[in-house]
Amino acid sequence: MSNDKALLLNPQKVALITKRFALQIVENHKSFENVAILGLQPRGIDLARCVKNEVSNLVGVDLKFGELDHTFFRDDIGRGEIHIPKPSKIEFSTEGMNIIIIDDVLFTGRSVRAAIDAILRYGRPSRIELMVLVERIFERELPIKPDYKGISIDSRKVNQKVKVDWQNDDNVNVWLLNQDKV
């Protein structure tokens, strides 16, 4: 099996997108009291934390922040792939909040569906938005689309994968991996 990869985003572009996300949050929300950011375990946490920090730098407001694991709400438990849960850390009620879910990649939409179910057990938010670094526009399996996206790509399901390589906050590369069939 041979692999090749193409660079989708370099660290400078990821930094720009993070700043853009922060500006969009500021632009779209009149008040920040009821706004909370939830990073999806495991790979949405770093991006969510960076966006929260950018918002704080821009307007001096610390948004409520949490880490959400949706494993127990997946629709494929016992269907082959193994899912090990990670901790959720949400120390506030989501009742009446504007929640922004942040993940690295949106593909089939099933993780986001599970995440919405997971959020609802902490209360009934007034609104849930979705922010992703990379949107894969084909092969969506549920009617879910992002409110904020870094880039959109038309990757195929069978032999392509998007990998977000988060070494540290200043060194993030996003790759498109092409995996030939065996």
Classify 93 as helix, strand or coil. coil
Task: Assess 121 for contact with other proteins (CB under 8 A).
Answer: yes
**Cα–Cα nearest to 166, from 114, 103, 117:** 103
Task: Assess 127 for contact with other proteins (CB under 8 A).
Answer: no
d(CA 86, CA 94): 20
- Of 104-112, 115-123, 125-133, 148-156, which segment contacts other proteins by CB under 8 A? 115-123
Task: Assess 91 for contact with other proteins (CB under 8 A).
Answer: no
Binding mask 6-45 for other proteins (x = CB under 8 A): ----------------------------------------
When binding is defined by CB under 8 A, the residue of 6, 120, 137, 142 that contacts other proteins is 120
Task: Assess 1 for contact with other proteins (CB under 8 A).
Answer: no
| AA letter at 13 | K
Residue 180: enclosing H or E segment and its boundaries?
none
Task: Assess 60 for contact with other proteins (CB under 8 A).
Answer: no
When binding is defined by CB under 8 A, the residue of 123, 153, 173, 179 that contacts other proteins is 123
Contacts of 30 (CB under 8 A, 6+ apart): none
CB neighbourhood size of 36 (10 A): 23
When binding is defined by CB under 8 A, the residue of 21, 65, 73, 107 that contacts other proteins is 73
Q: Which is nearer to other proteins, 22 or 112 (CB)?
A: 112
CA distances from residue 10 to 6, 134, 175 in whole angstroms, order as listed: 11, 13, 9
Number of shown-chain residues binding other proteins (CB under 8 A): 23
Give burial (CB, 10 Å; 0-12/13-18/19+) of 168.
exposed
Q: Residues in the site for other proteins, rule: CB under 8 A?
A: 69, 71-75, 77-79, 81-88, 93, 117, 120-123
